[in-house]
Amino acid sequence: MATVTAPMTNKRRTDLRKAILPYLYLVPAFAVMAVITFYPLIYQLIVSFTDFQTKDLRFGLASPELNFIGLKNYIDILTGGLPVQNFEFFRVLVFNFWWALTNVMVHVPAGVVIAVLLNTQGLWFRKIYRAIYILPVVIPPIVVATVWRNIFDEQYGAMNQFLTAVAQFFGSADPVHIRWLTEFTPPIPWLLPTGPLPLAYYAMMIANFWLGWPFMTVVATGALQSIPKDLYEAASIDGATGFQQFWNITVPLIRPAMIPAAVYGFTTSFNLFAFVFFMTGGGPARSTEILVTFAYDLVRNLRLFGAAAAFSVFIFFVALVVFLITNRVTRATESFTEA
Amino acid sequence: MSTITKTQDKNIIARFLTMNTSKEAGGRDVPLWRQILLQLLTLIIAAEVMFPIMYIITLAFSSKTTRPSALELIPQELSLTAFQQVLDRPTANPVTFTQLLTNSFLLSVGVGLVSLLVAVTAAYAFSRFKFKMRQVLMVLVFIPLLMPAVGLATPLYLLMNSFRVMDCGNGATALSPLMSCAEGAAGKVVFNLRDSLLGVGIAMIAGALPFAVWNLKGYLDTIPAELEEAGAIDGANPNQIFFLIVLPLAIPQLAVTFFLGFIGHWQEFALSWLFLSKPESYTLAMTLYNMTGQYANAIPWNRFAAMAIIVALPVAITYLALQKYIAGGLTTGAVKG
């Protein structure tokens, strides 16, 4: 009997081992995440129902002065009831979407056109241009933002000096003094009905354009090189112009590569904390604030921990909606390529 | 009329302008006028790219400590004073450049390495094993990825802040939150986890770890399973397969994940700026921020420019060296903002 049961238990043991092995592999990551990722997420939810402030820091949730105030933080955020000047949730939300969308709408076409230009056969110095065009991708955004912050400086900035030089060329002697980052009056008042788009927004667009299109060019170049050349040859035999070839061959064939890149660009721009924070700090008068910079301000400067926690919960749901939409867009293109 | 006679009819200038400038055999002809037009466009774009770069290089290599009064995009001199001053005394605070550099390296390398090591087995499990709850657990890992790094800042700040070592005055020390000083005695805070590099590092790992799991899983999925199957047939147990077959194969991907973590956290700013208050634990990114705009009233721009170059270089070099691999990695883990 014993000789029969021994292999049985052995087999059962290996089966059991096999069954628990995946979980053993998951233990390190999940143990760490449970403490420093999931617990804080839950903690965040609890804090969001309180009026946690600096005075409660010493004892945390056990603080005797801490009050549970239910949904007040959430309601305050939505109705502008926070003790914060110039803050409206929906204005910031709309600006955030507008900021991400306009960036992608500029970066992707520019990136594609430049990639096509660079892909022209027989173009001189192609390798040199390629090496130069990659530079913005490799420089950390915080450095880009700080440098552009100084470029847009009202008095000593390179942009005003450049414009002064251009003005002098056309005969004007006055130095240009554009208050790029502090002027509040929007240059195009009707552009975004929910809130002003000050000059700082355009300055940020210029700086982020510099940062953004080269990545799209990298992606588009990869996609362009996989398009068979005979397609173009056939098209030119049929008498298609360069523009027609671009529109009817290039665009449809690089679309599957560009849409995930655009989605990536959208998500990146949407949460581009360091860039906005370093360039404008959300100013003037919070008009260039995006959700993440405002959440940061709530913790770092205003020290409204409870409200900040509630605000982060909002950010989470906004991010979830963004993800569900973008994921859908990417999926849709996947099936488009398979079909 | 054929095209050849057409060309011959034209005068010499027209022939010169329409001559083929393409050196590539088999490609389409590029007439000179078109080449010039293309060159003009590509040069304008190159100028756009080089504008801020040349501006900052010119500033950094200038010895002028005044603010720039006119636009200069070509270095007039190659002075290293700005770099020297930044290396000597980077900020107004009594903190050395080496200290800042060490802090930045400790944080970025530490976070990159720890999150990689902790993540790798989980990534493998998600990539290769089939088990109950797989979907649920994967969604659990995905949830924190949706949250931007700043979104978790509040609870991490509060939690880290509760880990303190207190000197109660009478020779006794208390470890908060487990212990506290005697009733009435406030105690002096000797160590606050929140206000330390360790605390910031832990907070960064909170976001970096799910990202590393997800990213590595994407990479491991691309490694063909044939070798593992062969290993299993030869009698290797799952652990041997993982350590002896998969890990060596995955080294390039592990390296890329590590370097992505390094690049990302070298420039991390939000958490360190929120958590750290002592100048000796500042990072280079924080110092650069201190040299910009409203905070930089007393700092000459040539020093700011030198600092910008110093902060950018490690990332730029890593990026250029790994360019080929990173482009793929970025799109694999594209969800993290």
- Share above pLDDT 70 across residues of chain A, in percent, rounded to a whole number: 95
**B166, containing H or E segment:** strand B164-167
Phi/psi at B188 (5° precision): -100, 130
Indicate yes or no: pTM above 0.80.
yes
With respect to residue A338, please indicate whether it lies within any of the assigned structural domains: no
Enumerate residues 75 to 104 of chain A having a beta carbon within 8 A of any beta carbon in chain B: none
**pLDDT at residue A4 above 60?**
no
* Cβ contact, residue pair B144, A292, below 8 Å: no
Structure confidence at residue B147 (pLDDT): 85
Rounded to whole angstroms, the Cα distance separating B37 from B35 reads: 5
Query: Which residues on adjacent β-strands are paired with residue B176?
Result: B164
A203 inside 8 A of chain B by CB: no
Say whether A48 sits in a helix, a strand or coil.
coil
Residue A190 near residue A172 (C-beta atoms within 8 A) = no
Alpha-carbon torsion, ordered B248, B249, B250, B256, to 10 deg: 100
**pLDDT at residue A154 above 70?**
yes
How many domains are there within chain A? 1
**pLDDT at residue A237 above 60?**
yes
Structure confidence at residue B331 (pLDDT): 45
Structure confidence at residue B28 (pLDDT): 65
pLDDT, mean of residues B198-218: 91
Q: List Cα–Cα distances, A77 to A48, A81, A91, A161, in angstroms.
A: 11, 6, 12, 42
Three-state secondary structure readout of B296-312: HCCCCHHHHHHHHHHHH
Structure confidence at residue A335 (pLDDT): 52
Rounded to whole angstroms, the Cα distance separating A245 from B242 reads: 50
pLDDT-derived band of residue A276, with 50, 70 and 90 as boundaries? very high
pLDDT digits (tens, 9 = 90+) for B53-95: 999 999 899 888 777 877 888 888 888 888 988 888 877 777 8
What residues in A contact B161, CB-CB < 8 Å? 57, 60
Structure confidence at residue B26 (pLDDT): 56
Mean pLDDT, rounded, of chain A: 87
With respect to residue A82, please indicate whether it lies within any of the assigned structural domains: no
Q: Which of A246-255, A289-298, B97-106, B250-259 has the lowest mean pLDDT?
A: B250-259
pLDDT-derived band of residue A61, with 50, 70 and 90 as boundaries? confident
Enumerate residues 2 to 21 of chain B having a beta carbon within 8 A of any beta carbon in chain A: 20-21
- Share above pLDDT 90 across residues of chain B, in percent, rounded to a whole number: 28
Mean pLDDT, rounded, of chain B: 83
B207 inside 8 A of chain A by CB: yes
Residue ranges making up the domain that contains A279: 89-288
A190 inside 8 A of chain B by CB: no
- Which of B150, B265, B318 to probe the A interface (max A CBs under 10 A)? B150
With respect to residue A323, please indicate whether it lies within any of the assigned structural domains: no
Q: Distance from B12 to chain A by nearest Cα, in Å?
A: 23
Sign of CA dihedral B178, B181, B184, B188: negative
Structure confidence at residue B102 (pLDDT): 93
Rounded to whole angstroms, the Cα distance separating A277 from A159 reads: 20
- Share above pLDDT 70 across residues of chain B, in percent, rounded to a whole number: 87
Three-state secondary structure readout of A241-296: CHHHHHHHHHHHHHHHHHHHHHHHHHHHHHCCHHHHHHHCCCCCCCCCCCHHHHHH
pLDDT, mean of residues B287-295: 76
A201 inside 8 A of chain B by CB: no
A16 inside 8 A of chain B by CB: no
**pLDDT at residue A163 above 80?**
yes
Enumerate residues 94 to 153 of chain B having a beta carbon within 8 A of any beta carbon in chain A: 118-119, 121-126, 129-131, 134, 137, 140-141, 143-144, 146-153
Is the model more confident about A63 or about A267?
A267
**pLDDT at residue B329 above 50?**
no
With respect to residue A315, please indicate whether it lies within any of the assigned structural domains: no
What residues in A contact B41, CB-CB < 8 Å? 117
The residue of chain B with its CA nearest to that of A22 is: B125
Q: Which of A172-176, A242-246, B173-177, B202-206 has the lowest mean pLDDT?
A: B173-177
* Cβ contact, residue pair B151, A295, below 8 Å: yes
Query: Which residues on adjacent β-strands are paired with residue A50?
Result: A68
Structure confidence at residue B294 (pLDDT): 59
pLDDT-derived band of residue B254, with 50, 70 and 90 as boundaries? confident
Rounded to whole angstroms, the Cα distance separating B95 from B277 reads: 13
pLDDT-derived band of residue B330, with 50, 70 and 90 as boundaries? very low
With respect to residue A62, please indicate whether it lies within any of the assigned structural domains: no
Size of interface A-B (CB pairs under 8 A): 287
What residues in A contact B22, CB-CB < 8 Å? 121-122
**pLDDT at residue A99 above 60?**
yes
pLDDT digits (tens, 9 = 90+) for A185-218: 888 888 887 778 899 999 999 999 999 999 999 8
* Cβ contact, residue pair B55, A151, below 8 Å: yes
* Cβ contact, residue pair B121, A29, below 8 Å: yes
pLDDT, mean of residues B101-126: 93
Structure confidence at residue B199 (pLDDT): 93
- Share above pLDDT 90 across residues of chain A, in percent, rounded to a whole number: 42
A250 inside 8 A of chain B by CB: no
Q: List Cα–Cα distances, A317 to A337, B224, B231, in angstroms.
A: 30, 37, 45
Structure confidence at residue A339 (pLDDT): 34
Domains, chain B: 3-79 (no CATH), 93-161+197-332 (1.10.3720.10)
Structure confidence at residue B198 (pLDDT): 94
pLDDT digits (tens, 9 = 90+) for B260-277: 889 889 988 989 999 998
With respect to residue A158, please indicate whether it lies within any of the assigned structural domains: yes
With respect to residue A61, please indicate whether it lies within any of the assigned structural domains: no
Structure confidence at residue B293 (pLDDT): 60
Complex-level ipTM: 0.85
Across the beta sheet with B164-167, the strand order is B173-176, B164-167, B188-192
**pLDDT at residue B21 above 80?**
no
Q: Which two tokens stand for residue B99?
A: 């200290």
Q: What is the CATH number of the domain that holds A242?
A: 1.10.3720.10
B71 inside 8 A of chain A by CB: yes
Q: Distance from B30 to chain A by nearest Cα, in Å?
A: 7
What residues in A contact B336, CB-CB < 8 Å? 267
* Cβ contact, residue pair B137, A57, below 8 Å: no
Neighbours of A337 (CB within 10 A): 11
Q: Which two tokens stand for residue A258?
A: 């560009």
